[in-house]
Amino acid sequence: MKPETFTFFHNVHDVARLIPRGRVTSYGAIAKYLSSPRSSRMVGYAMNAAAGDDSIPAHRVVNRIGILSGKMHFKSPKAMQEALEQEGIEVKNDQVVEFNILFWDPTKELGL
């Protein structure tokens, strides 16, 4: 990636695109990967900018306990859950089942 375009938002989008199908990650994990553990909430804001962008799997990004905190920002509140279920991820009561197993940590998978 180009350093010129190395902005926080752009990075968040970039990392989100790297999330494997059928896996999920958290805002904090992405923030940590970007060396800004305290900027997790801006990661969410960045995803908001990604809403509507089909090239960015925003539905694979949930909060630290696996809750679909951003479902309301999708076209339809249930769109996020359905998108996850289509990837084989079971969602119960707006929460990813076995989130701890499906969790994809960029700092671990991509390396630091």
User: Which residues of this chain interact with DNA, rule CB under 7 A?
Assistant: 7-9, 26-28, 31, 36-51, 58-59, 61, 63-65, 69-71, 73-74, 80
- Tell me whether residue 63 or residue 95 sits nearer to DNA (CB atom): 63
Closest contact distance (angstroms) between CB of 90 and DNA is 18
Closest contact distance (angstroms) between CB of 29 and DNA is 8
DSSP string, 63-86: -TTSB-TTGGGSSSTTHHHHHHHH
- Tell me whether residue 35 or residue 97 sits nearer to DNA (CB atom): 35
- Tell me whether residue 18 or residue 42 sits nearer to DNA (CB atom): 42
Tokens representing 72 are: 């309301």
- Tell me whether residue 21 or residue 42 sits nearer to DNA (CB atom): 42
Residue 6's φ and ψ, nearest 5 degrees, are -80, 70
State the Cα–Cα distance between residues 10 and 90, nearest whole angstrom: 29
Residue 8's φ and ψ, nearest 5 degrees, are -55, -50
